[in-house]
Amino acid sequence: MRKDEYLKREIIYSAIFILIGIIALIGFIIGFKKPMMFGIAIGFIPTGVGMLLIYQKAKKHKEFSRNLKLEIEERNIYINSKAGHLAFWVSYWYIVIASVFSNIINVSMQRFTIYTLIFMPVVYFLFVAIYHRKY
């Protein structure tokens, strides 16, 4: 992937993050599920703004640009793809096992989704670390 395409894609992702955050903020202001909307807004807006600033800066600064090139170099892409693939299947089997044992394990849907949201990135970054050692 070329650097310009990558930058463009990341800037679009940042804008989507900010948009979701703004929608949640509006939800909070009008009083719709206030605690949840507040949490989403607090999470998405700073992340989106931070990403946007970094990638805008990367367009102009040589050092940032160099780091970006290394970020999208082929070995990193290879490792991230391989880790993503394996993390997907581990998460899939985690959900299958959770559904099979749903009668025995007494966990609310809300808690289960929170656990899943924590579990998935942990598994992904664990595989990224393992593959960085392997390759």
Partner 1 sequence: MKNMIRDLREQFNLTQLDLAEKVEVSRQTIISLENGKYNPSIFLAYKISRVFNLPIEEVFIFEEEDIR
Binding track over 23-62 against partner 1, x by CB under 8 A: ----------------------------------------
Residues 55-114 that bind partner 1 (CB under 8 A): 69-70, 73-76, 78
Phi (first) and psi of residue 72, to 5 degrees: -105, 20
- Give the list of residues 6+ apart from residue 7 with CB closer than 8 angstroms, or none: 55, 58, 59, 68
Residue 49 · residue 41 · CB < 8 Å: no
- If the CB atoms of residues 36 and 73 are measured against partner 1, the closer one turns out to be 73
Residues binding partner 1: what is the number (CB under 8 A)?
Answer: 10
Q: What is the nearest approach in angstroms of partner 1 to the Cβ of residue 78?
A: 8
- Of 22 and 130, which has the nearer Cβ to partner 1? 130
The C-alpha atoms of residue 72 and residue 55 are separated, in whole angstroms, by 13
Say whether residue 5 binds partner 1 (CB under 8 A). no
How many Cβ atoms are within 10 Å of 101's Cβ, its own excluded?
10
Residue 27 is inside which H or E element, if any? helix 3-30
Using alpha carbons, list the distances in angstroms from residue 126 to 73, 91, 113: 20, 13, 20
Nearer to partner 1, 78 or 89 (CB): 78
Shortest reach from residue 133's CB to partner 1, in Å: 9
Where does this chain bind partner 1 (CB under 8 A)?
69-70, 73-76, 78, 132, 134-135
